[in-house]
């Protein structure tokens, strides 16, 4: 039972982290980023290759974080900034393009093969008579520390205040002298960093490969269930997704592990199309 709880907490953390990145970006730039899985696994590859090249895990991780922030900035600078204010489908299609390009780059730069992010820790940790999977412990701690850091940044710092201001009233923010471009750029940097951290943690507890980009689908489902503009919504919905997947796999039938959360999403979309914590205004805007 303890292993199961840990598995749910770790999976929940990874989906929530990835989903928070998507929501942060959406709130400030009104772009639904569907390249979350690709961004996550791209950074997973960077860290895996760095470790394969001989760098220790504690150095490879900050390197991956730096790469994620640089990638986020590059995406904003070369693409997003040019479509700001355009209809939502333009930004959406842009992220489809980004996902495709990242897929190609993963093949060209990293070979696109299967690898992992080894933390160099044993497979399990014994606490008395309880045996817990160490990768899940690392993933849970890593994910929830990252989530806490993003939440603190968003709610307790000036930068977070600026992001919230841009999210709420972009015109007013600009009139009050806020640098909207810089704020949106920072949201992309943090959003891609969150995705990258999720990718590293997923690679540490499972594997890194092109096929692993599907973790982005689970995170996107969490975003839609929670509400595209709600950080607390995505965290709660990530729990629903992770718990549903894990309960289905352990107690029902693993064959339905992907169908179950999608079924919940469909029900939510029928009853409350803007998600559990999303706002009707945002839904209509999209």
Partner 1 sequence: MKMKSGLTFVSAALSAALALSAASAQEKVHKVGYIADLSGPMQDNYGPIVEGFEFYVKELNARNGIDGVPVRVAVRDDQLDATRASSIALELATSEGVNSIWGMSQTRTHLAVYQTAARNRIPATAMFSGIKEVLPPNPLPYAYSAGHVFEVAGEVSGKLAAKMLNGKGKMICNSIEAPGGVAACQFAEGAAAAGGLETGTVLFPPTVTEFGAIAQRMTSMSPTMVVAHAGSGQNVGLIKALRGAGFDGPILMGSHGLNEMPLINALQGVGSLDKLQIVSRFSSPDTTGKELDEIRAAAQKYGKKTPVSTTTIMGWSLAKVMEAALLKCGYPCPGEKLNSTLENIKVDMGSLMGGPVQFAPKDHYGISWWRVFQYDAKDKKFLPASEWLEASSTPTLRKQ
Read off the tokens for 136: 């899940």
Whether the CB-CB separation of 237 and 222 falls below 8 Å is answered with: yes
Total interface residues for partner 1 by CB under 8 A: 49
Q: Cβ closer to partner 1: 27 or 202?
A: 202
Three-state secondary-structure class, residue 101: helix
Considering the complex, what minimum distance in angstroms separates the CB of residue 25 from partner 1? Answer: 23
Rounded distance, CA 137 to CA 58, Å?
16
Please tell me whether residue 229 binds partner 1 under the rule CB under 8 A.
no
Q: Cβ closer to partner 1: 11 or 29?
A: 11
Considering the complex, what minimum distance in angstroms separates the CB of residue 24 from partner 1? Answer: 23
The interface mask with partner 1, positions 18-57, x = CB under 8 A, is: ----------------------------------x-----
Residues facing 115 on adjacent strands: 208
Please tell me whether residue 123 binds partner 1 under the rule CB under 8 A.
yes
The residue range among 121-129, 153-161, 185-193, 265-273 that interacts with partner 1, by the rule CB under 8 A, is: 121-129
Burial of 156 (0-12, 13-18, 19+ CB in 10 A): exposed
Residues facing 125 on adjacent strands: 132
Identify the CA nearest to 182 among candidates 208, 163, 207. 163
Long-range contact pairs involving 168-172 (C-beta distance under 8 Å, separation at least 24) = none
Rounded distance, CA 94 to CA 217, Å?
17
Choose, by CB under 8 A, the member of 90, 114, 266, 267 that binds partner 1: 114
Choose, by CB under 8 A, the member of 202, 219, 238, 277 that binds partner 1: 202
Please tell me whether residue 118 binds partner 1 under the rule CB under 8 A.
yes
Please tell me whether residue 136 binds partner 1 under the rule CB under 8 A.
yes
Please tell me whether residue 209 binds partner 1 under the rule CB under 8 A.
yes
Contacts of 30 (CB under 8 A, 6+ apart): 88, 91, 285, 286
Contacts of 127 (CB under 8 A, 6+ apart): none
Residues that bind partner 1 (CB under 8 A): 3-4, 7-8, 10-11, 52, 104, 107, 111-116, 118-124, 131-136, 202, 205-207, 209-212, 214-215, 218, 245-250, 254-255, 257-258
């Amino acid at each position: 039972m303890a292993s199961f709880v840990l598995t749910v907490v770790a999976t929940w953390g990874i989906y929530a982290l990835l989903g928070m990145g998507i929501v942060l970006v959406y709130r400030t730039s009104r772009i639904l980023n569907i390249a979350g899985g690709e961004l996550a696994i791209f950074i997973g590859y960077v860290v895996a290759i760095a470790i394969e090249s001989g760098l220790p895990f504690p150095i490879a991780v900050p390197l991956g974080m730096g790469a994620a922030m640089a990638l986020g900035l590059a995406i904003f600078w070369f693409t997003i900034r040019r479509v700001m204010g355009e209809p939502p489908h333009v930004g959406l299609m842009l992220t489809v393009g980004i996902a495709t390009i990242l897929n190609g780059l993963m093949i060209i730069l990293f070979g696109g093969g299967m690898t992992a992010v080894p933390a160099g820790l044993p497979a399990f940790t014994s606490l008395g008579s309880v045996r817990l999977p160490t990768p899940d412990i690392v993933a849970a701690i890593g994910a929830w520390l990252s989530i806490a850091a993003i939440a603190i940044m968003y709610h307790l710092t000036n930068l977070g205040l600026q992001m919230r201001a841009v999210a709420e009233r972009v015109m007013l923010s600009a009139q009050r002298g806020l640098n909207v471009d810089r704020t949106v750029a920072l949201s992309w940097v943090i959003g891609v960093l969150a995705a990258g951290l999720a990718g590293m943690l997923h690679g540490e507890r499972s594997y890194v490969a092109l096929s692993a980009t599907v973790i982005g689908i689970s995170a996107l489902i969490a975003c839609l269930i929670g509400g595209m503009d709600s950080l607390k919504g995505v965290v709660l919905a990530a729990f629903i997704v992770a718990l549903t997947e894990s309960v289905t796999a352990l107690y029902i039938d693993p064959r339905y592990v992907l169908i179950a959360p999608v079924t919940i999403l469909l029900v939510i979309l029928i009853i409350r199309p803007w998600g559990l914590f999303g706002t009707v205004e945002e839904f209509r805007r999209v």
